[in-house]
Amino acid sequence: MSDGDEVTIEPMGMEHVSRVITAIERDDADYARYFSPFDFTVETLAKILTEAVKDRYFILLKDEQVAGFYMLRGVDSGYDIPSYGIWISQRFSGRGFALKTLHDAVLVARSLSAPAIMLKVHPDNLRARRIYERFGFRQTGFDSKNSNLVYHLVISQ
């Protein structure tokens, strides 16, 4: 990643909600076909942020533009292992931002004393699978509810 492709990661706040939703809506539906963790509306995202205690949501900003967001969630629901999810805006795809969020997610997971990070990825999302596997995630299962592959990354404390 060149200096021109630096991105800032910061905790997502209520002030970011409408900007994130607008950015998601700008992408082609086909581009985001593999990413559907919840209903993307201002109301839903605002409720999720308001109710979050240990779950973490982050925004990626590139020159003040929304480049994406990532989350580690499920801890508030009682899971010991947070679930990682990411969306990178189509306009900013291919710049290495996803990899930067993975490094950040490991630090956040450690701060939560999580033993691992879990993610689900569609089998056809080869680009994402390559990124995760190169980072060290290993396939550990299959989610028959949505046909996604389940991956885990063990976090050394």
Nearest CA-CA partner of 91 in 58, 61, 121, 125: 61
Percentage of the chain modeled with pLDDT above 90: 77
Give the residues across from 65 on adjacent strands: 62
User: What are the Cα distances from residue 48, in Å, to 12, 72, 105, 124?
Assistant: 11, 12, 19, 28
Q: What is the pLDDT of residue 37?
A: 66
Confidence check: pLDDT of 35 > 80: no
Q: Which tens digits make up the pLDDT trace of 143-153?
A: 998 899 999 99
- As a whole number, mean pLDDT of residues 22-50 equals 82
Q: What is the pLDDT of residue 3?
A: 46
Integer Cα distance of 152 and 30 in angstroms: 26
Q: How confident is the model at residue 114 (pLDDT cuts 50, 70, 90)?
A: very high
Instruction: Out of 25-29, 83-87, 111-115, 138-142, pick the least confident.
Output: 25-29
Average pLDDT of the residues of the chain: 91
pTM: 0.90
Q: Which tens digits make up the pLDDT trace of 50-63?
A: 999 999 999 999 99
Structure tokens of 57? 């949501």
